[in-house]
Amino acid sequence: MSVFTPLARPELETFLAPYGLGRLLDFQGIAAGSENTNFFISMEQGEFVLTLVERGPVQEMPFFIDLLDVLHEADLPVPYALRTIDGVALRELKGKPALLQPRLAGKHIKQANAQHCAQVGELQAHLHLATQGEHMIKRKTDRGLDWMLEEGTEFLSHLSDEPRALLQKALEEITQQKEKILALPRANIHADLFRDNAMFEGTHLTGLIDFYNACSGPMLYDVAIALNDWCSDDDGLIDGPRARAFLGAYAALRPFTAAEAELWPTMLRVACVRFWLSRLIAAESFAGQDVLIHDPKEFEQRLAQRQTVNTPLPFAL
Ligand SMILES: Nc1ncnc2c1ncn2[C@@H]1O[C@H](COP(=O)(O)OP(=O)(O)O)[C@@H](O)[C@H]1O
Ligand SMILES: N[C@@H](CCOP(=O)(O)O)C(=O)O
């Protein structure tokens, strides 16, 4: 279970008092999640989630707070940092940066269908449209192309022949296509829009959570990351109907460009490399600990399946 920092009721009550949300009724550590410590918090005035930031770009918390404010003001269903009565958003608890956010209704779905995928594609397009151009808040990801090349090269010697050849080929492609990828249309991107970062009530998408990988970057990269998770079957193949539903709903709001259509197969592979590597690293660094670790093999398999891509981007000439 990923509650890295346990909390006792009195220290939580002291922390929550300045929000003016009434008495603390109940709280519960959340087992899901792998990066931060999260608690469901029931107050007299509603349901909230408290996050203690355990690792990652702690000094960049103002970026995440600002981005979620922009998305919230654009009426998109995302959590955002609640302010204390004195207007403070970013606080500290047990020496960790701490945020209190509204709790979104619903739960994660395991089996996505075309209807789920269309809603996620649509919401992702809204997220990009709200943060394009002068609205984009700059933040360089710490897991970008240079990181992939560096960590990937490091990992080659840890792998057996077949995965090593697969990774080597992908790293060469990243080196060759890097400039073109970086020139694609940009916005703020979620960069981790997996099923476990979206909430559904029945078939209705109630919102997106966990923006701690968000950054400024190519919108197509965000699409590829999401599609690899939402539209893959158990063998790692792209499921045509789900992928077309996702891409069609997205493109109806933000049509893809010719450059994006050309780089689509590359981008699907880059998005596989990103999570294959981060999972390999997590599996090594958290081995034997009580932390949720996702299977790296899943992305090795997806990368192998994306050597040919039969689902083109819907793109009108
Ligand atoms: N604002 C929220 N509303 C509802 N549930 C949330 C919210 N934030 C987090 N959660 C719950 O907490 C879990 C872990 O949150 P997440 O941000 O994904 O953690 P981590 O950063 O550790 O991966 C989610 O799977 C979800 O169930
Ligand atoms: N969704 C990811 C986990 C989050 O990525 P990280 O880079 O923040 O560890 C996955 O399923 O691997």
From first to last of its 317 residues, what are the pLDDT tens digits of the chain? 478 899 999 999 999 999 999 999 999 999 876 788 999 999 999 999 999 998 877 788 999 999 999 999 999 999 999 999 999 999 999 999 999 999 999 999 999 999 999 999 999 999 999 999 899 999 999 999 999 999 999 999 999 999 999 999 999 999 999 999 999 999 999 999 999 999 999 889 999 999 999 999 999 999 999 999 999 999 999 999 999 999 999 999 999 999 999 999 999 999 999 999 999 999 998 888 877 789 999 999 999 999 999 999 997 66
**Residue 114, SS3?**
helix
CB of 267 shorter than 6 A to ligand 1: no
Say whether pTM exceeds 0.90: yes
174 in Cβ contact with 263 (< 8 Å): no
Q: In this predicted complex, what is the ipTM?
A: 0.95
Residue 101: phi and psi, rounded to 5, are -130, 160
Q: Which of 104, 16, 121, 36 is nearest to 27 (CA)?
A: 16
CB of 213 shorter than 6 A to ligand 1: no
**Residue 281, SS3?**
helix
CB of 15 shorter than 6 A to ligand 1: no
CA distance 66 to 307: 38
Tokens standing for residue 227: 């599609």
CB of 192 shorter than 6 A to ligand 1: no
68 in Cβ contact with 51 (< 8 Å): no
Give, for ligand 2, the residue of 210, 278, 279, 301 to mutate: max count of ligand atoms closer than 8 Å to Cβ. Answer: 278
| The predicted structure's pLDDT at residue 14 | 98
CA of 275 from ligand 2 middle (Å) equals 6
Ligand 2: which residue has its CA nearest to atom 9? 278
CA distance 178 to 145: 7
Give, for ligand 2, the residue of 64, 275, 281 to mutate: max count of ligand atoms closer than 8 Å to Cβ. Answer: 275
CB of 260 shorter than 6 A to ligand 1: no
Could you say which ligand is closest to the alpha carbon of residue 2? 1
**Residue 214, SS3?**
coil
Ligand 1: which residue has its CA nearest to atom 20? 33
Strand segments, DSSP code E, in the chain are 24-29, 37-43, 46-52, 91-93, 96-102, 186-189, 198-201, 204-208, 215-218
CB of 103 shorter than 6 A to ligand 1: yes
Digit-coded pLDDT (tens) for 10-39: 999 999 999 999 999 999 999 876 788 999
Neighbour order of strands in the sheet with 96-102: 24-29, 37-43, 46-52, 96-102, 91-93
Radius of gyration of the CA atoms of the chain, in A? 20
| DSSP symbol at 58 | G
CA of 89 from ligand 2 middle (Å) equals 25
Could you say which ligand is closest to the alpha carbon of residue 48? 1
